[in-house]
Chains A and B, each alone.
Chain A
Amino acid sequence: MAHAAIVGELATNLVRCLTGVTRDDSTFGGTRDRTIKGLREGGRGRVNPFEIRDRCAGLVEKFGVLNRDDVAEALQSRLDSLPETRWIPDILSLLLQLSDRPLESASLSDLDGLKRVFSPPTELSWEDIVADDPLTDQDVWGEVERGYHSSGDEEALDGSDSEPTTSTQATSFADDDFAALARLHIVKPDATLLGDVRTVRETLSRPRDNTDAPTMSELNLIRETISMLRGLPTYLFSVGSGGVVSISSTLCIATASKPMLYHVRSNFAEIGSQLVFLRHWTQRKRSEAYVQSIQAAVQSTTGTIDLNIGRLEQRFIKPSDSCVVSLIDVRIEVEDFTRAAMHLSSIIVANDRASNGNESASFALLDALYEEACIADMAGDKHLFDAIAGALLAGVRTYLRPVLSWTISGDLPKQDTDAFFVRLDEEDCPLGEIWHKRFALRLETNERACAPEAIQPFIQQLYAAGKEKAFLKLNGFEADESAVDVVSLIARLSMATVTERLTTNSLMPFNELLRELLQDYFADTRSPNTTTLRTVMLEHVDLLRHTRALDDVFLGHDGMSLQAFTGSLFSLLQRGSSNWHDKFFLTRLVQSTLGAAPSVHGHCINVSVLTDDNHPARGPISRQLARIKLAYAVPWTVQNVTRSADLPTYSAAFSLLLQIEYAAYVLSSQTFDLRKLGFGWRSAGPALQETLSLRERLIWFIGIIRSHYGTVVTTHANGLQGALESADGIDSMAEIWATHDKHLRLCLLLASNVAPLMDAVKHILRLSENLEDAWLSLDQSTSLPAVTRMAAEFDKNLAFVAAGLRSVSRAGGETALEALAERLQWNAG
């Protein structure tokens, strides 16, 4: 058809050229048709090129024969100049057929008249140009600024050589006419495109009764549904006061039944309701920072949904390929990309209902997200898991910010909120009790720490870490906060890290993975150069030296010092000096004797003498010794380990030690020298014998008690030193000290449950003093009954002590007491 059109057009032009008849002429059409018919009926026969060549050669020869050599040469030269194409023979055939007596009329002068003009077949005329673009613009004949034209004018062109042209000026604009230039690029929207939409809206906005169900196209229904999902008001859906979207009007579509349409619209309404709820919830003002982070994460999710709705809408506005308009397809697609958001919405709704709108600190939302993330991970629902875990981690990151500050610097949040698991318990507590009383865990009603479920396994660790930093700060060891890269540390708790971990270990459950992440997170909060509390206690505070000092001062670890002290004291007491209870004298005496040990700071020793109903100022010396109260001022850091500044166990042990030493001192004194007895001793033979026997037994008993005392003290001191050296914190150190104190009390019979045994022991010790008095009155008739009575008391108390020790050792498992009981029973038996 195209070929026929070309031939027809060419024939038409040929007719016009040959006849001069225009299209307007009535004969033109017939002439043209005949011409075209004649050309078609001529067939497609080809000429014989050899024949044409021979005819041309014959013609040239004929010219030569007729003395027209010039024409012959001209013709031959032109024939030779023709290119060798397939159509040349045909064209030459045509020319030969149309030739009219060339031999007679051919002339070279005719060739001179020919012009080699390069012109298009159809030339433009001014009439055509003016008809197309009338020259009505005033600036048509103005000057042209060459700079506007093209980039080719920028280089090496001297402006003075160029002349302004009117043709270019007609298409150029003035410098300041940017508005006209801008108008060239404005794409005017086609207002008719919205006609269909306006018609539908007018139909829907018209009030009608329930029986009137207008029919609308599926595309319009999808448009309204998408608007509803975006949260925009529509005619087909209404939003109630609680954000519940419902179907507001009935309608029909040609491609679905009413029940099915109603069901699909109900699905969309439900999705719309949850989206409305999420959008409102993200705008709600909350005081907890971690909830605000969760709101931001949820808002990001709803933003992604909006983008997906936009892409869905774009598909119908500007379809690139053939697009199927199906409400069911739209529903499937919407359900797919809103599934995660619907689940988040249900979690938040359930949390709001459980808290009854109470927005006080409770980590129910975080715990719910944690639980649902674990479930989604176990179910393998990656899309849902990403959405829920993303919101969870956003909340956890924000929650951990004050925790991070607590573990790095020991500082509590500026405002004491219920969201932080540590609270300031006693702000003004003594320094010796700072570790145990200043801070406390904030507990909920079920005795659980006030923290999210995911953080519960680390509560004690975090609590101790923060207390440690606060304790070190009081000791002058400030934490180097710049050593910890807080920003990268917080950023590590992200979905990217979780995804990377799950990629390398896909079988690890999410709760284990999160625990591992948090473990690494908390481990990295400790900078490598941080001075640990253990180092401070052992090296800077020198805890072990102070414990050795306590042994030297209270427990008589150094026998020489102890003997020096007791010798001076007992001699004063026996001389009846009235100054013996002077505290300054006693303090000086203790400092010069017991305080001389290398581990003791003598200036820390203080001695006082009690005077109350329990400690009368007069009486036996053994009772007076109980009035002496020795105190050693340990640093407040050590007091946090010993939990006491008074050290009652050590004080009681010192008092017992004094009584034991005094009893030994009395029995070994020169009082019992036989050579000092007068002639009356002969008559006191039985009494003397009893006295000496009792003395021997008392010496034996005191020796065992002293041996027991020394063994217990030495064993416990060594054990305490080793245990404290291996302790990692004050809590463990305090626990070690408490155990040591308890064992020491029990082994030295200072505990309340063995008080009867201690009373019996002290009674035996007091017999030494009584025996001394009896020795001095040995020649009297009352001495024998007195000594006999003392011996009976000794035996009774000894048996009681032995039996008591055996039962206590069996109940408590103390080997030292069992050994003491056995020794007492061996020699007594």
Chain B
Amino acid sequence: MPAADDSKRKAARETIVGLTEANSQNNPANLLQQDILHEISTLLNTNLDRQSLSYCVSLIENGVNPEALATVIKELRVQNTRYEAERGAAATEQ
């Protein structure tokens, strides 16, 4: 399947974005804001990729407390680290 036709086929089909924040994020002004925030996030070494940052921005725009969000993110990272450690230990035992 030719890769060159991939973008054309996507452009020929009507794509329905299920998430409301995706439509708002596609706004050029928002895209510029996202880029700037991503650069600031990179400079501050927050370890948030662009997708995660966009979800965080959407959550904050929907009224989520930034402190609570930061706490949740940290817990998820801890949990993720623990989960990867356990998976790694399980792989070593096998």
User: Which A residues form the contact surface with B (CB < 8 A)?
Assistant: 3, 6-7, 9-11, 13-15, 17-21, 27, 31, 34-35, 38-39, 41-45, 47, 59, 71, 74-75, 78-79, 81-83, 85, 87, 90-102, 105-106, 110-111, 114, 116-118, 120-122, 124, 126, 129, 165-168, 171
Contact = CB atoms under 8 A, between A and B. Distances in A.
Contacts of A101: 45
Interface string B9-32: 110110101111110011001010
A393 to B, nearest CB: 63
A81 B73 contact: no
A166 B5 CA distance: 8
A102 B44 contact: yes
Given A42-B65, A44-B63, 10 more contacts: A10-B19, A18-B80, A47-B67, A75-B43, A82-B33, A87-B60, A91-B56, A120-B22, A124-B13, A171-B12
A94 B45 contact: no
A114 B48 CA distance: 12
A171 B58 CA distance: 37
A98 B73 contact: yes
Contacts of A111: 39, 42-43
B64 interface: yes
Contact of B40 (A11, A78, A168): A78
B13 A129 contact: yes
A94 B72 CA distance: 11
A93 B44 CA distance: 12
A122 B73 CA distance: 22
Contacts, number: 190
Contacts of B61: 87
A761 to B, nearest CB: 127
Given A31-B79, A78-B39, A101-B45, A47 B51 contact: no
A167 B65 contact: no
A122 B55 contact: no
Interface size on B, as a range, is: 35 or more
B80 A20 contact: yes
Interface string B68-82: 111111111101100
A100 B45 contact: yes
B49 interface: yes
A71 to B, nearest CB: 6
Contacts of B64: 7, 39, 42
A121 B80 contact: no
B65 A122 contact: no
Contact of A110 (B18, B26, B33, B42): B42
A168 B56 CA distance: 39
B56 to A, nearest CB: 6
A9 B69 contact: no
Nearest to B49: A17
A438 B79 CA distance: 127
B9 A129 contact: yes
A285 to B, nearest CB: 65
Given A39-B69, A93-B67, A101-B45, A126 B1 contact: yes
Given A14-B56, A78-B40, A114-B42, A35 B72 contact: yes
A94 B36 CA distance: 15
B73 A18 contact: yes
B62 interface: yes
A42 B51 CA distance: 22
24 contacts: A6-B62, A10-B55, A14-B73, A17-B51, A18-B73, A18-B80, A31-B79, A38-B75, A39-B65, A44-B65, A45-B67, A59-B44, A79-B40, A93-B66, A94-B60, A94-B69, A95-B48, A98-B41, A106-B42, A106-B43, A111-B42, A126-B6, A129-B13, A167-B5
Contact of A19 (B37, B49, B66, B80): B80
A41 B60 CA distance: 14
B59 interface: yes
Q: State the 3 A-B residue pairs at the shortest beta-carbon distance, nearest first.
A: A42-B68, A42-B65, A99-B44
A59 B75 CA distance: 25
B23 to A, nearest CB: 9
Contacts of B58: 10
A94 B53 CA distance: 10
B52 A7 contact: no
Contacts of B39: 74, 78, 111, 114
Contacts of A96: 44
Nearest to B18: A122
A111 B62 CA distance: 28
Given A10-B59, A39-B68, A91-B57, A98 B46 contact: yes
B51 to A, nearest CB: 5
B13 A165 contact: no
A109 to B, nearest CB: 10
Contacts of A124: 10, 13, 15
Contacts of A90: 60, 66
A38 B19 contact: no
B37 to A, nearest CB: 6
Contact of B43 (A7, A110, A122): A110
A102 B62 contact: no
A692 B60 CA distance: 164
B52 A18 contact: yes
A122 B76 contact: no
